[in-house]
Structure formats: structure tokens, C-alpha cells
């Protein structure tokens, strides 16, 4: 019984960790593109 409970929580936390890593990656990419795009606009004007 304890083993299945531990496995269930491990699976949940692995999914949560995966989701957080994916969100972090998308956020960093979004912020990078915002910064990069604003730098390009400054150079163009």
C-alpha cells in the first residue's frame, strides 16, 4: 500500500516538474524574443 502511494506521488511530482520546466523554457524564450525584438527596433530607428 505504501509503495503504490509513493509511486502515485512520484508520478504526480514528475509531471509537475515536467510542466514547470516546459513553462520555464517557454517563458525564457518569450522574454528573450521580446528583448531581441526591442533591440532590433532600436537599431532600425
Q: What pLDDT was estimated at residue 10?
A: 94
Q: Domain coordinates of the chain in residue numbers?
A: 12-44
Instruction: Find where cell 533591440 sits.
Output: 39
Predicted pLDDT of residue 38: 77
* The three grid cell numbers given for residue 32, joined into one nine-digit string: 528573450
Q: Output the pLDDT for position 1.
A: 63
Residues of the chain with pLDDT under 70: 1-2, 45
- d(CA 5, CA 12) in angstroms, rounded, equals 11
C-alpha cell at 13: 511530482
pLDDT for 2? 67
Going by the DSSP 8-state scheme, the letter that residue 45 receives in this structure is -
Q: Residue 12 to residues 5, 8, 30: CA-CA distances in angstroms?
A: 11, 6, 27
What's the pLDDT at 29? 97
Residue-level pLDDT at 26: 98
Amino acid at each position: 500500500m505504501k509503495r503504490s502511494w509513493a509511486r502515485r506521488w512520484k508520478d504526480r511530482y514528475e509531471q509537475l516538474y515536467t510542466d514547470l520546466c516546459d513553462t520555464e523554457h517557454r517563458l525564457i524564450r518569450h522574454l528573450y524574443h521580446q528583448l531581441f525584438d526591442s533591440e532590433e527596433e532600436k537599431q532600425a530607428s
